[in-house]
Amino acid sequence: MKLRKERFERRSKTEKSSAPKWMVTFADLITLILVFFILLFSMSQIDLKKFNSAVKSIHNSGSRQDAESASSDAANGKNEQDKLLQNVNTYIKTHHLRSKMTAKRDERGVILVLQEAVLFQSGEAEVLKNAEPLLHQIAVLLKTIPNAIQVEGHTDSRRISTYKYPSNWELSSARAASVIRYFTVKEDFPAKRFISVGYADTKPVKDNNTAGHMKENRRVEIVIKKTTL
């Protein structure tokens, strides 16, 4: 009896110390869920890499297209400016205007250059009467071109100080304004096409060391800008 009792007590202790049966099932379930989430995480990482690669590819493709488009636009713009300069030079030659003005091109656009003596008396900003036929011929040309126009006044480095023009700033600005006034009043151009700028002696084409160089610096430039209205 005593032996049987001891066996029963040992069996009872073993049953009490072992885990319930449902814990085994629960542990298996937790393990499966953990494996499932690890699998999902692994798949999401792979998809993220693919997504980033696809985005990078699209971005690079767009950048190349933008660069190609910008290059194409620049080439087209250069061709248009070259063609416009050629047309302007043809007009100047056809109308025998080479002795009165020249044409050139830079980053601003196509530029008509008129020397001071063609338009004004020395130190004055009123357009000479005998300059109006020249400005009329320029107006005929400009009416065939839809671009915005910037008129710039330039002087040499000699100082001026009069009641009307205390400095070269006022003189150069007044000369640009006088040319624009002719186009808007006498030739009926819309005022919104024009920009008036006075540079005084800040943008010389030559140094001011000789009379000839100073003569070239005293000028009005009519800039046919690249933009249209």
- The pLDDT assigned to 12 comes to 54
| Domain annotation covers residue 90 | no
| Domain annotation covers residue 125 | yes
Torsion of CA 117, 123, 129, 134, to 10 degrees: 40
Examine the domain organization and report whether 16 and 109 are in the same domain.
Answer: no
Examine the domain organization and report whether 106 and 205 are in the same domain.
Answer: yes
Examine the domain organization and report whether 131 and 180 are in the same domain.
Answer: yes
Examine the domain organization and report whether 47 and 100 are in the same domain.
Answer: no
- The pLDDT assigned to 70 comes to 56
At 193, which CATH number? 3.30.1330.60
Examine the domain organization and report whether 126 and 211 are in the same domain.
Answer: yes
Domain count along the chain = 2
Give the chain's residues under pLDDT 70: 1-24, 36-37, 39-51, 54-55, 58-59, 61-77, 229
Cross-strand partners of 110: 105, 224
| Domain annotation covers residue 193 | yes
- The pLDDT assigned to 51 comes to 58
Burial of 23 (0-12, 13-18, 19+ CB in 10 A): exposed
- The pLDDT assigned to 9 comes to 58
- pTM score: 0.68
Examine the domain organization and report whether 133 and 23 are in the same domain.
Answer: no
Q: What is the pLDDT of residues 154-173, one digit of tens each?
A: 999 999 999 999 999 999 99
| Domain annotation covers residue 82 | no
- The pLDDT assigned to 4 comes to 53
Range of the domain at 18: 2-55
| Domain annotation covers residue 167 | yes
User: Could you tell me whether strands 147-154 and 109-115 are parallel, antiparallel, or unpaired per DSSP bridges?
Assistant: unpaired
Examine the domain organization and report whether 194 and 131 are in the same domain.
Answer: yes
| Domain annotation covers residue 62 | no
Examine the domain organization and report whether 114 and 217 are in the same domain.
Answer: yes
- The pLDDT assigned to 115 comes to 96
- The pLDDT assigned to 33 comes to 79
| Domain annotation covers residue 72 | no
- The pLDDT assigned to 78 comes to 75
Examine the domain organization and report whether 49 and 154 are in the same domain.
Answer: no
- The pLDDT assigned to 35 comes to 72
Q: How far apart are CA 20 and CA 9, in angstroms?
A: 19
Q: How far apart are CA 176 and CA 172, in angstroms?
A: 6
User: Could you tell me whether strands 101-106 and 219-228 are parallel, antiparallel, or unpaired per DSSP bridges?
Assistant: unpaired
Examine the domain organization and report whether 114 and 35 are in the same domain.
Answer: no
| Domain annotation covers residue 85 | no
Examine the domain organization and report whether 51 and 132 are in the same domain.
Answer: no
